[in-house]
C-alpha cells in the first residue's frame, strides 16, 4: 500500500493563483477588511498492483490578515472540512488558537488587535507540535500528523459517542456545542478520531471518508477522483479566560475590574473589546455586518452562509484529484525441456 501526503497552502493578500483550484474572498464593513486565499496541487499518482489508495492527507499553511476592525481580534477559529468524490462534506479538524500577544517565530507570526495577522509559516502539524499555546503551558506536548482526509478506517461512527453534558450529535457536528477534545477518542488511540489531539484541545474529528471511492479495481487502468477541502475562518474577540494567562487578575473580584486592568496593560486592547464569557465574533451587527443572535456559538453552516456579509468570516474551497493506477497483470513461464532419446 502506498501513502501520499498532499500539501495544501493558503496565501495572504495578493497570493498566487492556485494550480488546480482557488478561492479569494474579501469582505468589508466600512473601512474594515479581511482576506484569505487558498490553493492545492494534484498529488502524485498512486500506482500498485491493486489500484489501492490507503490514505490521503492534507497539511495546510495559511496567512489571514485583517485591518481597521472596530473590535480587536484575540482568537482565530478555523474549521477544515472535506469531501471525497460524490460523498458528503464532513468536518475533519477545528481549532481556536489564542493570539493575545505579538509573536514572530520560525513557525508562526501573529499580531492581535484591530489590524493584525495570523500566519502559519510551517505546515499545520509542525506548528501544533511546536507551539506552546496548543499545550498545557509547560511546552509543546502534541504528536500531531497531517490531517487525514480519507483512510481505510474511514469516518468515525459519531452516533455511538457518549457526549458530555450539553452536547449531542447535532451540536457536535454543527459546532454550536462541542465541549473539549478530551471528551472524544484521540488520534493515538486504536480506532480513535484520526485528527483529534486531546493534549492540545484541537481536532475533535476524524477522516471524512474511507478510501473506497479512491480505489481503482480495473486492471491496467488509471482513475482520478476529486477531493475537495473547505476552510472556514472566524475572527473572535478576546475573553477574560484567555487574558488571565497574560494579565495577573489576583485580588480582582469583578469582571469590570479585570477588563480595566487588561486594557491598561495590553496596548492593543480596549475595555469594549473584551468578553466576560465565551468569545464573540468581531463586529457583530456593526457597520452593516450580519447580526448573529448567538455570536459566541455560531454553527458551521451559518458561518459559511454569511461569509459574504460579515468581515469576521472567511470561507473558501480548494480541490485536487487523487489518481490511482491499477498496474496491468501478466504471467508467463520460461525454461527448457531438455529432451533426449536413445
Report yes or no: 77 and 234 within 8 Å, Cβ to Cβ.
yes
CA proximity to 266, closest of 133, 98, 134: 98
A 10 A CB-CB count for 168 gives 12
Residues with Cβ within 8 Å of residue 167, at least 6 apart in sequence: 177, 178, 179, 183
The distance of Cα 127 from the centroid of its chain, to the nearest Å, equals 12
How confident is the model at residue 226, as a pLDDT? 86
How confident is the model at residue 319, as a pLDDT? 83
Per-residue pLDDT of the chain in tens (342 residues, 90 and over written 9): 322 222 222 222 222 222 222 222 223 334 566 665 555 555 545 655 455 678 888 888 888 999 999 999 999 999 999 999 999 999 999 999 999 999 998 888 999 999 999 988 888 888 888 765 554 444 444 578 889 999 889 999 999 999 999 999 999 999 999 999 999 999 989 999 999 998 888 999 999 999 888 877 666 667 788 888 999 999 999 999 999 999 999 999 999 999 999 999 999 999 999 999 999 999 999 999 999 999 999 999 999 999 999 999 998 888 888 876 554 433 444 444 343 332
CA proximity to 283, closest of 67, 35, 25: 67
- Which is it for strands 108-111 and 116-120: parallel, antiparallel or unpaired? antiparallel
How confident is the model at residue 284, as a pLDDT? 96
Q: What residue ranges do the domains of the chain occupy?
A: 2-237+279-326, 240-275
Amino acid at each position: 500500500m502506498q501513502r501520499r501526503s498532499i500539501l495544501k497552502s493558503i496565501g495572504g493578500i495578493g497570493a498566487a493563483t492556485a494550480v488546480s483550484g482557488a478561492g479569494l474572498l474579501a469582505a468589508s464593513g466600512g473601512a474594515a477588511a479581511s482576506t484569505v486565499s487558498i490553493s492545492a496541487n494534484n498529488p502524485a499518482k498512486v500506482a500498485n498492483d491493486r489500484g489501492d489508495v490507503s490514505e490521503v492527507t492534507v497539511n495546510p499553511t495559511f496567512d489571514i490578515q485583517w485591518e481597521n476592525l472596530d473590535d480587536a481580534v484575540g482568537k482565530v477559529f478555523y474549521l477544515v472540512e472535506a469531501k471525497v468524490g460524490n460523498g458528503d462534506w464532513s468536518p475533519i479538524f477545528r481549532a481556536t488558537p489564542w493570539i493575545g500577544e505579538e509573536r514572530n517565530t520560525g513557525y508562526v507570526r501573529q499580531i492581535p488587535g484591530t489590524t493584525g495577522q495570523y500566519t502559519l509559516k510551517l505546515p499545520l502539524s509542525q506548528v501544533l507540535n511546536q507551539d506552546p499555546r496548543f499545550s498545557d503551558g509547560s511546552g509543546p506536548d502534541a504528536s500531531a500528523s497531517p490531517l487525514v482526509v480519507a483512510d481505510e478506517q474511514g469516518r468515525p461512527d459519531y452516533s455511538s459517542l457518549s457526549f458530555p453534558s450539553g452536547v449531542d450529535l447535532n451540536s457536535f457536528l454543527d459546532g454550536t456545542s462541542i465541549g473539549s477534545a478530551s471528551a472524544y477518542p484521540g488520534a493515538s488511540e486504536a480506532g480513535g478520531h484520526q485528527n483529534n489531539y486531546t493534549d492540545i484541545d484541537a481536532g475533535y474529528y476524524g477522516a471524512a471518508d474511507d478510501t473506497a471511492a479512491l480505489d481503482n479495481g480495473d486492471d491496467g487502468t488509471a482513475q482520478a477522483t476529486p477531493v475537495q477541502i473547505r476552510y472556514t475562518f472566524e475572527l473572535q474577540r478576546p475573553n477574560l479566560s484567555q487574558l488571565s494567562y497574560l494579565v495577573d487578575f489576583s485580588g480582582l473580584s469583578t469582571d469590570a475590574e479585570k477588563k480595566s486592568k487588561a486594557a491598561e496593560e495590553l496596548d492593543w486592547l480596549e475595555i469594549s473589546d473584551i468578553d466576560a464569557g465565551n468569545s464573540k465574533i468581531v463586529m457583530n451587527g456593526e457597520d452593516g455586518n450580519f447580526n448573529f443572535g448567538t455570536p459566541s456559538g455560531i454553527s458551521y453552516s451559518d458561518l459559511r452562509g454569511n461569509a459574504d456579509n460579515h468581515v469576521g468570516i472567511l470561507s473558501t474551497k480548494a480541490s485536487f484529484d487523487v489518481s490511482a493506477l491499477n498496474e496491468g497483470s501478466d504471467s508467463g513461464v520460461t525454461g527448457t525441456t531438455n529432451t533426449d532419446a536413445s
